[in-house]
């Protein structure tokens, strides 16, 4: 936990529940610790050597007392554990209507891509009161995306996707930091999360159209990288059909099955021989080192746009 955590505002829907859990744990541990030390000090003084305390019952046992001081703290801590488990599940399960943004970490910056084509570096604009899901990957080493005021943090790893989600509850600008030592300028790898009202956020999107949307850019990468030669509708090569692929169950040659989510599509582009689709030969080349993570994200968004569900699994 950041050492300034307790002084940060609660600016997301998950912030207050996390703070309540944290302080409940602090108070519970403090009560138990104080109780134990008070009992130790009391008995040390009362039954010190040379005191006149009555020791006639020194070897008596009370099963009720022993069960009470064992089971009551145990039940309290199990209750806290279950509470934290429910909160963890909520924090890791984004709503179905969450808006998806893409984050690529790089020494030493955060690169953000919006589906409509807007791009940001070390700044993340989000709307107030609307759930936002971040799909994140790293271009080099392990980073950690941390917004103290939102009480959310997630490691960002090279070669795979991780995610976090939040719903901002306060308008304003809030610090964004990297919470994992990532190299020489780790301490400078920061930025701001800017929370706007829905109207202001829409105005910001309209005023920062920096080029084609992710799906359109992905279609360009799809053609330029030669993907259309095998996966296009007119291709003569026997390759898996990409239409309606996202969110579908894919059966693999080893007999297992996998859901075609972002991670599967990412690995299929960069590590195509790790998961071979049943009925197809492992002939697809790897694009690792040929496509940037931004290009891969654009490709994935293009494939998602081919789904009849509009990219929702």
Q: Are 260 and 247 in contact, with CB atoms under 8 Å apart?
A: yes
Tokens of 20: 């309540």
Q: What is the DSSP letter of 255?
A: S
Q: Residue 243 and residue 231: Cα distance in Å, rounded?
A: 9
Q: From the centroid of its chain, how far is CA 59?
A: 55
Q: Residue 122 and residue 308: Cα distance in Å, rounded?
A: 34
- Class of CATH domain 214-305: mainly alpha
Helix (H) / strand (E) containing 192: strand 190-196
* Cis peptide bond N-terminal to 108, omega within 30: yes
Q: What is the DSSP letter of 235?
A: -
Tokens of 133: 């899901």
Domain-wise residue ranges, the chain? 1-43+66-211, 214-305
Determine the pLDDT at residue 253.
Answer: 87
Mean pLDDT by 10 residues, the chain (313 residues): 61 93 91 91 85 72 82 90 93 91 93 89 95 93 94 91 94 94 90 95 86 83 85 77 87 89 88 86 85 87 76 42
Determine the pLDDT at residue 240.
Answer: 83
Tokens of 147: 């917004």
Q: From the centroid of its chain, how far is CA 63?
A: 47
Determine the pLDDT at residue 208.
Answer: 83
Determine the pLDDT at residue 14.
Answer: 93
Determine the pLDDT at residue 313.
Answer: 39
Strands 143-147, 109-113: parallel, antiparallel or unpaired by DSSP?
Answer: unpaired
Residues 6+ apart with CB under 8 A from 266: 137, 160, 161, 296, 300
Determine the pLDDT at residue 6.
Answer: 57
- Class of CATH domain 1-43+66-211: mainly beta
Tokens of 206: 């309209």
Give the SS3 label for residue 219: helix
Phi/psi region, residue 213 (left: phi>0; alpha: psi -120 to 50; beta: rest), is: beta
Integer Rg of the chain from CA: 27
Judge if pTM exceeds 0.85.
no
Determine the pLDDT at residue 41.
Answer: 93
If we measure between CA atoms, which residue out of 273, 265, 272 comes closest to residue 304? Answer: 265
């Amino acid at each position: 936990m950041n050492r300034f955590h307790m002084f940060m505002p609660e600016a997301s829907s998950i912030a207050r529940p996390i703070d309540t859990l944290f302080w409940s744990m602090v108070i519970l541990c403090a009560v138990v610790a104080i109780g134990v030390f008070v009992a130790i000090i009391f008995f040390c003084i009362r039954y010190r050597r040379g005191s006149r305390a009555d020791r006639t019952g020194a070897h008596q046992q009370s099963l009720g007392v022993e069960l009470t001081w064992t089971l009551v703290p145990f039940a309290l801590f199990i209750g806290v554990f279950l509470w934290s488990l429910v909160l963890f599940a909520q924090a890791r399960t984004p709503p179905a209507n969450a808006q998806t943004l893409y984050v690529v970490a790089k020494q030493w910056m955060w690169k953000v891509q919006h589906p409509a084509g807007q791009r940001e570096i070390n700044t993340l604009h989000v709307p107030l009161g609307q759930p936002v899901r971040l799909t994140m990957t790293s271009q080099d080493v392990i980073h950690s995306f941390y917004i103290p005021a939102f009480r959310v943090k997630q490691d960002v790893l090279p070669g795979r996707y991780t995610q976090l989600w939040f719903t901002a509850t306060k308008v304003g600008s809030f610090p964004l930091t990297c919470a994992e030592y990532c190299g020489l300028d780790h301490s400078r790898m920061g930025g701001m999360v800017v929370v706007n009202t829905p109207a202001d956020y829409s105005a910001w999107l309209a005023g920062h159209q920096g080029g084609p949307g992710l799906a359109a850019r992905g279609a360009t990468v799809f053609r330029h990288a030669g993907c259309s030669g095998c996966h296009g509708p007119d291709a003569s090569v026997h390759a898996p059909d990409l239409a309606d692929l996202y969110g579908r169950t894919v059966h693999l040659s080893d007999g297992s099955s996998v859901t075609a989510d972002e991670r599967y599509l990412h690995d299929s582009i960069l590590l195509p021989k790790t998961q071979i689709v049943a009925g197809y030969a492992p002939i697809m080349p790897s694009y690792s080192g040929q496509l940037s993570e931004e290009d891969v994200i654009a490709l994935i968004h293009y494939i998602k746009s081919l789904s009849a569900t509009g990219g929702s699994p």
